[in-house]
């Protein structure tokens, strides 16, 4: 027990290393925050021999890391762009009118290399062949499109 009392900073350092290595298995960032608390215990052990102070500083640091640092890290690491599959992935994309879209007559639009039946949004808009459009929504097999403000890109053709 005397050895441990004389080498408290090494014991804290060993605990920090073991917790950090265990984090490599769990990948949940929980044990890493506890390892951060153990590092605070190392620093406190280098300043004072008071074991109670070391435990309090290590515990407070671990709780602070768990409450303030871990949640934003987890959100950032686990979050990402939403995966949109199927026709919903075409919403917002641009296309080229291949068959005139009139008020009471759907036309055809080429979107992402595929030909789609299209109606104009708003319905009173007429879209001529070659016009650049933007997909507003997809209803079944019909694309609802509106005129785009930018000239067509070569990748649309």
Place of tokens 């265990």: 22
Cis peptide before 122 (omega within 30 of 0): yes
For 30, which DSSP code?
H
- Assigned domain for 154 exists: no
Give the Cα separation of 137 and 146 in Å (integer). Answer: 10
- Number of domains within the chain: 2
Sign, Cα dihedral of 129, 87, 154, 146 = positive
Kindly give the confidence (pLDDT) of every residue in the chain, 157 residues in length, as a single tens digit, with 9 standing for 90 and above. Answer: 677 778 899 999 999 999 999 999 999 999 999 999 999 999 999 999 999 999 999 999 999 999 999 999 999 888 877 777 788 888 989 999 999 998 888 999 999 889 999 999 887 778 889 999 999 999 988 999 999 876 555 544 4
Q: Same domain for 48 and 112?
A: no
Give the Cα separation of 34 and 90 in Å (integer). Answer: 45
Classify strands 132-139 and 94-99 as parallel, antiparallel or unpaired: antiparallel
Of the candidates 34, 53, 78, which is a domain's last residue?
A: 78
- Assigned domain for 16 exists: yes
What pTM was computed for the model?
A: 0.55
- Assigned domain for 157 exists: no
């Amino acid at each position: 027990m005397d050895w441990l009392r004389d080498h408290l900073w090494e014991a804290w350092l060993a605990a920090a290393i073991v917790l950090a290595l265990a984090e490599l298995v769990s990948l949940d960032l929980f044990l890493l925050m506890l390892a951060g608390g153990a590092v605070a215990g190392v620093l406190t052990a280098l300043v004072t021999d008071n074991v109670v102070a070391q435990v309090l500083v290590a515990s407070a640091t671990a709780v602070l890391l768990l409450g303030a640092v871990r949640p934003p890290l987890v959100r950032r690491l686990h979050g990402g762009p939403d995966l949109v599959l199927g026709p919903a992935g075409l919403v917002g994309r641009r296309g080229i009118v291949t068959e005139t879209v009139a008020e009471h007559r759907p036309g055809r639009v080429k979107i992402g290399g595929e030909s789609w039946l299209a109606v104009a949004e708003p319905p009173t808009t007429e879209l001529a062949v070659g016009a650049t459009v933007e997909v507003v929504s997809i209803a079944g097999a019909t694309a609802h499109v509106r005129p785009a403000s930018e000239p067509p890109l070569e990748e649309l053709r």
